[in-house]
Amino acid sequence: MDSIGQFDILATDSSSRARLGRLTTAHGPMDTPAFMPVGTQGTVKALAPRDLTALGVQTILANTYHLAIRPGPDIIRSAGGLHAFMGWDGPILTDSGGYQVFSLARLRTVRPDGVEFNNHFDGARLFLGPAEVMAIQRDLASDIAMVLDECPPWPCDHISACQAVDKTLAWAASCLEQDRAPGQLVFGIVQGGAHADLRGRCARELAAMGFDGYAIGGVSVGEPEPALIRGVDDSVGALPENRPRYLMGVGKPHQMVEAVARGIDMFDCVIPTRFARNGTAFTGQGPYPVKAGEYKNDPRPIEEGCACYACSRFSRAYIRHLLNVKEILGIQMLTLHNVHWHMSFMRRMRDAIANGRFAEFRREHNREKEPIAC
């Protein structure tokens, strides 16, 4: 029987560093390459857990910062942990909240032992350090807990990025010393901005600490795409081959393919759900705006050939109507389609690796597809 934290590499690609894997968690396996829909507040927006299960979602992401603000870790702990609280039986990864501290907080003060800041909800002064972040995640009882890190802005000079790496490494070591929930895995996070030497150093020192997995952070923060890819290249080479690698905040299909080709196993992003709320559908030919007037009398499904519930039942004209009159069902159905599309995309990528066709798959998705008139 597989043990919790075991990461099995089941197949590799001869033309790249892509690999097919399986991570065993306390709430079941995660087949990789994997995409994790984002449920920041303890829910993937517009979808129930039964929808996620039907779509083939194995793992979701929730956010420590937001759940610590509302409803609070005590309430979730008293409910039996985040799985019981939100009615989700599969694996949950909790981000540490470090990114939100640096992106949302006002009047923050960074100290060697953590960060003082005003939270975004009511402005109350709070402190988060490694002990506090890990204690909250222990109460949440997530399957994968992320360490507290300092995510520098883009662009960031070498001195500032170096200081962020120093704090990230110190906080990572402290996070490892904290108690954790039964079966809870802990991932380190590589920082370093656009500086290859800092990313390499951060990755090497984290690897020496012996985490259950490793994330690459500080990307998808406003930098141009070539810088994002360089950030992966500068980080991944020093990370252990036998542990999962997670690229944080990336969910564009062509970017995921290129990251997988470089040895990345896990992704998360708000793109499928956020695009749906903005009225945009993902398709194999590229995204398009279902809300556009040209679809007001279009009897076709969101994507022809798609087997999701929304496409099997409703027309573009109906979905557009729902979106334009602000009926909840429109967002729900478009979200369902977009998450289905991302799950299907990852399954096809895993199949390509398993069957020796990843190079062909990569060529097919080697660039971002422009928005289309579908």
Q: H helices within 121-157, ranges in order?
A: 130-140
Other CB atoms within a 10 A radius of the CB of residue 49 amount to 18
DSSP string, 331-345: HHHHHHHHHHHHHHH
Whole-angstrom CA distances from 81 to 45, 49, 198 are: 20, 16, 37
Quick check: 252 and 338 in contact, CB under 8 A? Answer: no
Whole-angstrom CA distances from 276 to 47, 209, 295, 297 are: 12, 40, 16, 20
Catalytic residue among 8, 166, 268, 351: 268
State yes or no: is 351 an active-site residue. no
Q: Is 159 helix (H, G, I), strand (E, B) or coil?
A: helix
Nearest to 247 by CA among 171, 209, 190: 190
State yes or no: is 179 an active-site residue. no
Quick check: 92 and 83 in contact, CB under 8 A? Answer: yes
Catalytic residue among 95, 143, 212, 234: 95
Q: Give catalytic residue positions.
A: 95, 268
